[in-house]
Structure 1
Amino acid sequence: GVAYASTKTVTNKQGTEIPVMHACGHDFHMTTWLAVAGFMNAYRKHWQGTLVFIAQPAEEKAAGAKAMLADGLYTRFPKPDYALALHVNSKLPAGTVGYCAGSALAKIDLLDITVKGKGGHGGMPNFSKDPIVLSAQLIMALQTIVSREVNPAEPAVLTIGSIHGGSNSNTIPSEVSLGLTIRSLNDSVQAAMIKSIQRMANGIAHAAGLEEKDFPVIQLRNESSPLVYNDPVLSRRIGAVFQEKLGKERVQELQPEMYGEDFGMYRQTEPPLPTLIYSVGTVGTGPFVSTHSPLYLPTLDPALETGIKSLTWALLDLLKPAKK
Structure 2
Amino acid sequence: MAASFSLKSSDPVIQRLLPRIQQLAAEAAAETVALREHLHAHPELSFEEVNTQAFVISELKKLGLSPQPLANTGVVALIEGKNPSRRTVALRADMDALPIQETNEVPYRSTNPGVMHACGHDVHTSSLLGTARILTQLRTEFEGTVKLIFQPGEEKLPGGASLMIKEGVLENPVPASVLGQHVFPRLPAGKIGLRPGRYMASTDELYMTVRGKGGHGAMPEQNIDPVLVTAHIIVAAQQIVSRRANPKLPSVLSFGKVIANGATNVIPNEVYVEGTFRTLNEEWRDEAHVHLRKLAEGIAEAMGATCELDIRRGYPYLENEPALTARTRVAAEEYLGAENVVELDQWMAAEDFAYFSQQADACFYRLGTSTSDGRHTSSVHTPTFDIDPKALETGPGLMAWLTLRELDTTAHSVAAGASATINA
TM-score (norm 1): 0.85
Q: Which residue of 2 aligns with 1:144?
A: 239
2:338 equivalent to 1:280: no
Contact 1:46 1:321 in 2 (8 A): no
Distance 1:167 1:230, change over 3 A: same
Q: Which residue of 2 aligns with 1:2?
A: 105
Distance 1:194 1:79, change over 3 A: same
Q: Which residue of 1 aligns with 2:312?
A: 221
Residues 162-203 of structure 1: CA deviation (Å, up to 9, x unaligned): 222316554332222211111111122212221221122123
Residues 43-87 of structure 1: CA deviation (Å, up to 9, x unaligned): 322322111111111112242111111122234x31111111001
- Please report how far the alpha carbon of residue 287 of structure 1 lies from its aligned counterpart in structure 2 after TM superposition: 8.6
Contact 2:227 2:271 in 1 (8 A): yes
2:370 equivalent to 1:292: no
Residues 7-52 of structure 1: CA deviation (Å, up to 9, x unaligned): 535xxxxxxxxx3322221111111122112222233223221111
- Please report how far the alpha carbon of residue 115 of structure 1 lies from its aligned counterpart in structure 2 after TM superposition: 1.4
2:187 equivalent to 1:92: yes
Cα distance in 2 for partners of 1:287, 1:170 equals: 47
2:421 equivalent to 1:318: no
Secondary structure of 1:134 counterpart: helix
Cα distance in 1 for partners of 2:400, 2:246 equals: 41
* Corresponding letter in the other structure for 2:400: T
Percent identical among aligned pairs is 38
* Corresponding letter in the other structure for 2:235: M
* Corresponding letter in the other structure for 2:112: K
Q: Which residue of 2 aligns with 1:67?
A: 163
Q: Which residue of 2 aligns with 1:14?
A: none
Match of 2:339 among 230, 249, 255: 249
What count of residue pairs does the alignment treat as equivalent? 304
Secondary structure of 1:51 counterpart: strand
Contact 1:156 1:185 in 2 (8 A): yes
- Please report how far the alpha carbon of residue 112 of structure 1 lies from its aligned counterpart in structure 2 after TM superposition: 1.1
Match of 1:260 among 323, 339, 350: 350
Q: Which residue of 2 aligns with 1:12?
A: none
Match of 2:329 among 239, 250, 254: 239
Distance 1:127 1:301, change over 3 A: same
Contact 1:154 1:185 in 2 (8 A): yes
Residues 227-281 of structure 1: CA deviation (Å, up to 9, x unaligned): 2111111111111111112111110122222121111222444xxx211110112
Cα distance in 2 for partners of 1:130, 1:288 equals: 45
Q: Which residue of 1 aligns with 2:176?
A: 81
RMSD of aligned C-alpha atoms?
Answer: 2.3
Gaps of 5+ in 2: 1-103, 412-424
Cα distance in 2 for partners of 1:229, 1:322 equals: 24
Secondary structure of 2:170 counterpart: helix
Cα distance in 1 for partners of 2:377, 2:243 equals: 31
Residues 203-225 of structure 1: CA deviation (Å, up to 9, x unaligned): 32123223xxxx21111225x11
Cα distance in 1 for partners of 2:275, 2:187 equals: 27
Contact 2:209 2:271 in 1 (8 A): yes
* Corresponding letter in the other structure for 2:312: R
Cα distance in 2 for partners of 1:141, 1:282 equals: 40
* Corresponding letter in the other structure for 1:313: W
Contact 2:194 2:325 in 1 (8 A): yes
TM-score (norm 2): 0.66
- Please report how far the alpha carbon of residue 132 of structure 1 lies from its aligned counterpart in structure 2 after TM superposition: 2.3
Q: In terms of mean alpha carbon deviation, does 65-74 or 122-131 score higher?
A: 122-131
* Corresponding letter in the other structure for 1:216: C
Secondary structure of 2:289 counterpart: helix
2:256 equivalent to 1:161: yes
Q: Which residue of 1 aligns with 2:276?
A: 181
Q: Which has the higher contact order (CA 8 A, sep 6+)?
A: 1
Match of 1:302 among 372, 377, 390: 390
Q: Which residue of 1 aligns with 2:294?
A: 199
Q: Which residue of 1 aligns with 2:223?
A: 128
Distance 1:293 1:132, change over 3 A: farther
* Corresponding letter in the other structure for 1:67: L
Cα distance in 1 for partners of 2:409, 2:321 equals: 23
Distance 1:246 1:7, change over 3 A: same
Cα distance in 1 for partners of 2:243, 2:383 equals: 34
Secondary structure of 1:300 counterpart: coil
Q: In terms of mean alpha carbon deviation, does 165-174 or 137-146 score higher?
A: 165-174
Distance 1:20 1:169, change over 3 A: farther
Q: In terms of mean alpha carbon deviation, does 116-125 or 228-237 score higher?
A: 116-125
